């Protein structure tokens, strides 16, 4: 061990059961978790090379007391949905009198709830991590490290992938940009990352692709950007052409997905570039088909457009659309529930995340409701559970819960869910040159037999499952694997929504 070397234990707390966890599906596919702890892996790569580092993701591994005893500092990061696990982990670490260093969205917006944390990184850490390292060496550590400005991303190194077993995850992650040009009332992206998108360079993105490829990863890759198209010009002129060239040179090893805003549909050149780069799926915050509610939440870019046609346009170009939907706006009337059902079914958005409005800490919505004395408690950020309604709604609460339940019981019952898969597959035209098939993968075999056993033999709505499989085999045989994957996803989503 070198002089001044430190042992750093990085811990990623356990996720509560959420829409995006797909816990049941992960078991079928032989995976432990959906996504890796990208933030901690990136922080690790920024720490001194002579420091010893170990990462424990409690979603994939057990945290042993020996790990804590080994550490000089314990770093912990996470999101609001990991709060319960984070509190327990910090309490356990402090039993060994180890200093806790905490950062990330959870701690940036709720630091006052973590009394046992020794050192906080509030906001992004790129501009303050070197101060912490210097203070460690000089034994002059501070309680809070907080940068005055949002950092540039042009010097962030490749994440320290060697700290985890990447094959325990369903998808890898890459962050190209931070920030979003829009300022929706309920969203905390602007609070955390600002309105001016900051980006990595073309060389940084390619270096991250290379790193994962060299480790043998040839599966899904999630660009975790708040809004990938926040800076359209750079994306079109530099980043996507570079990704296209790289994917072609490697015979398209990665299937890409990301988050965008609906105004992507206004730029066909950009859509085509994304498809050529290997993007197959985009998540879009649709929120609501009601114009008044869109205006209320400042989702102006969704207004005055045919949202169903916009979704189908992306599907026709080869992009599957996953959608976020919200009920509980002050402008909502009881008619909103049927409107949401009809929109989701007509659009063919199979993966429809429908949640109750929740007021996240430090958002414009939270401030407005707090000023009006309507906040009941802090949000868990898991807005797909009734218990997370953390404010007094304008609509009668019983009516809101009843209508919300009706949406979920409709769109996720087997009959309507499988019908929605058909609606999607009728519109979806994947690019022929997208991800080259590399032979049948082990997880695909597991998915097929797992779906037959759990859905075709034991499952509720068996006849709809078999009807879908026969239908897709006859009509769209090239999309068979989409029918299987969405059927399995439905198994998880019913456990989340229809408990």
Q: Tell the burial category of 497 from Cβ atoms under 10 Å away from its Cβ (0-12, 13-18, 19+).
A: buried
Of 1-10, 45-54, 239-248, 413-422, least confident by mean pLDDT is: 1-10
- What's the whole-number mean pLDDT along residues 65-80? 97
Tens digit of pLDDT for each residue in 410-431?
A: 999 999 999 999 999 999 999 8
Question: What are the structure tokens assigned to 37, written together?
Answer: 């702890």
User: pLDDT at position 438, please?
Assistant: 46
Chain centre to alpha carbon of residue 430: 23
d(CA 249, CA 226): 28
- What's the whole-number mean pLDDT along residues 159-175? 97
Looking only at the bridges linking them, the beta strands covering 279-287 and 198-199 are unpaired
d(CA 286, CA 261): 8
Question: What are the structure tokens assigned to 108, written together?
Answer: 């940036």
- Are 195 and 179 in contact, with CB atoms under 8 Å apart? yes
Query: What does the mean pLDDT of the chain come to?
Result: 93
Where is pLDDT greater, at 350 or 435?
A: 350
CA-based nearest residue to 409, from 488, 356, 354, 343: 354
Residue 435's pLDDT band (cuts 50, 70, 90):
very low
- What's the whole-number mean pLDDT along residues 299-328? 97
- What's the whole-number mean pLDDT along residues 317-329? 97
List C-alpha distances in Å: 169 to 143, 151, 281, 309. 34, 29, 18, 34
User: Where exactly are the structural domains of the chain?
Assistant: 7-146, 170-427, 442-497
Q: Looking at the domain 170-427, which fold is it? A: TIM Barrel (3.20.20)
**pLDDT of 498 strictly over 70:** no
User: pLDDT at position 370, please?
Assistant: 95
Q: Tell the burial category of 155 from Cβ atoms under 10 Å away from its Cβ (0-12, 13-18, 19+).
A: exposed
Tens digit of pLDDT for each residue in 355-366?
A: 999 999 889 999
- Are 383 and 355 in contact, with CB atoms under 8 Å apart? yes
Q: What angle do CA 31, 34, 40 make, to 5 degrees?
A: 115
Tens digit of pLDDT for each residue in 230-267?
A: 999 999 999 999 999 999 999 999 999 999 999 999 99
Question: What are the structure tokens assigned to 124, written together?
Answer: 């992004």
Q: Which CATH superfamily is domain 7-146 in?
A: Cobalamin-binding domain (3.40.50.280)
User: pLDDT at position 461, please?
Assistant: 87
User: pLDDT at position 445, please?
Assistant: 78
Of 63-72, 275-284, 320-329, 455-464, least confident by mean pLDDT is: 455-464
Helix (H, G, I), strand (E, B) or coil at 416: helix
Tens digit of pLDDT for each residue in 113-157?
A: 999 999 999 999 999 999 999 999 999 999 999 988 999 999 999
User: pLDDT at position 1, please?
Assistant: 44
Residue 441's pLDDT band (cuts 50, 70, 90):
low
Residue 436's pLDDT band (cuts 50, 70, 90):
very low
Looking only at the bridges linking them, the beta strands covering 171-174 and 220-223 are parallel
d(CA 276, CA 126): 32
């Amino acid at each position: 061990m070198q002089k001044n070397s430190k042992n750093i234990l990085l811990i990623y707390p356990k996720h509560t059961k959420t829409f995006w966890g797909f816990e049941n599906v992960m078991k079928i596919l032989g995976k432990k978790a959906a996504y890796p702890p990208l933030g901690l892996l990136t922080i690790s790569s920024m720490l001194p090379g002579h420091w010893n580092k170990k990462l424990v993701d409690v979603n994939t591994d057990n945290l042993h007391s020996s790990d804590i005893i080994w550490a000089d500092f314990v770093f912990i990061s996470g999101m609001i949905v990991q709060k319960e696990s984070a509190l327990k982990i910090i309490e356990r670490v402090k039993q060994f009198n180890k200093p806790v260093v905490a950062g990330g969205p959870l701690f940036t917006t709720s630091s006052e709830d973590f009394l046992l944390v020794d050192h906080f990184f509030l906001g992004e850490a790129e501009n303050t991590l070197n101060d912490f390292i210097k203070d460690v060496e000089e034994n002059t550590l501070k309680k809070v490290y907080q940068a005055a400005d949002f950092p540039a991303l042009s010097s962030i190194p490749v994440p320290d992938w060697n700290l985890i077993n990447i094959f325990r995850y369903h998808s890898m992650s890459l962050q190209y940009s931070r920030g979003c040009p829009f300022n929706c009332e309920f969203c905390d992206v602007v609070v955390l990352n600002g309105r001016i998108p900051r980006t990595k360079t073309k060389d940084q993105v390619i270096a991250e692709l290379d790193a994962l490829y060299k480790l043998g990863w040839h599966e899904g890759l999630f660009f975790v950007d708040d809004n990938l198209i926040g800076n359209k010009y750079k994306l079109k002129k530099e980043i996507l052409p570079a990704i296209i060239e790289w994917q072609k040179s490697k015979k398209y090893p990665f299937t890409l997905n990301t988050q965008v805003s609906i105004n992507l549909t206004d730029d066909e050149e950009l859509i085509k570039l994304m498809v050529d780069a290997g993007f197959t799926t985009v998540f879009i915050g649709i929120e609501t088909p009601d114009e008044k509610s869109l205006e209320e939440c400042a989702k102006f870019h969704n207004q005055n457009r045919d949202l169903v046609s916009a979704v189908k346009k992306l599907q026709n170009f080869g992009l599957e659309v996953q959608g976020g939907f919200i009920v509980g706006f002050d402008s909502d009337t009881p008619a909103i529930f049927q409107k949401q059902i009809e929109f989701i079914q007509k659009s063919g958005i199979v993966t429809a995340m429908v949640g109750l409005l929740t007021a996240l800490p430090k958002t414009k919505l939270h401030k407005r409701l707090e000023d009006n004395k309507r906040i009941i408690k802090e949000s868990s950020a898991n807005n797909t559970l009734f218990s997370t309604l953390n404010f007094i709604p304008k609509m009668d609460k019983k009516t809101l819960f009843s209508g919300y339940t009706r949406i979920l019981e409709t769109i996720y019952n087997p009959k309507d869910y499988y019908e929605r898969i058909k609606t999607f597959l009728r519109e979806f035209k994947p690019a022929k040159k997208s991800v080259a098939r590399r032979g049948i993968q082990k997880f695909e075999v597991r998915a097929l037999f797992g779906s037959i056993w759990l859905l075709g033999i034991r499952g509720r709505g068996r006849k709809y499952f078999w009807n879908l499989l026969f239908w897709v085999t006859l009509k769209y045989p090239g999309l068979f694997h989409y029918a299987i994957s969405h059927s399995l996803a439905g198994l998880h989503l019913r456990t989340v929504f229809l408990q």
